[in-house]
Amino acid sequence: MAAHWLMKSEPNKYSWEMLVRDGRTHWDGVRNHQAAIYLRSMKIGDECFFYHSNEGLAVVGIMRIVGEHYLDPSDTKGKFPCVDVAPVRAFKVPVTLAAMKANDALAGMAMFKQFRLSVSPVSDEEWGVILAMADG
């Protein structure tokens, strides 16, 4: 069974629109050991929420893991992994951080426990709640 994740990117560095334009990219630049463990756990077919951090503060779409972990070419020390992702679909209505924090069903999200992590797991229940919020 596929796992679910939330992956953050600052839209001024790499946005949802850039991913759609590119069709596929490697998710690189992760330098946190816990986030790296999550990247190494990802399997082809896992789905991820694409979260715009710093600007927008919202889940804006879904992407899929299309390439499992390998050494991040931007890591000069050769310690950290990256994965390949491709867009699945944009949300008609972005799900804002404020809306997620206001929803009691999402109170236990890993994202809220370690907010600075750029990659975190999402439970099946949380995945369903956020999808429902995006669909209005």
Sheet of 47-52, strand order: 25-27, 81-96, 58-71, 47-52, 4-9, 119-122
Task: Write the CB contacts of 123 (distance below 8 Å, at least 6 apart in sequence).
Answer: 4, 109
Q: How would residue 127 be classed by pLDDT, with cut points 50, 70 and 90?
A: very high
Q: Is the pLDDT of residue 51 over 90?
A: yes
pTM value is 0.95
Burial pattern 12-34, b for ≥16 Cβ within 10 A else e, equals eebbbeebeeeeebebbebeeee
Structure tokens, 40? 């190494």
pLDDT in tens, 52-91: 999 999 999 999 999 999 999 999 999 999 999 999 999 9
pLDDT of 103 higher than 90:
yes
Domains and CATH numbers, the chain: 4-134 (3.10.590.10)
Q: Compute the distance between CA of residue 82 and CA of residue 90 in angstroms, rounded to an integer.
A: 22
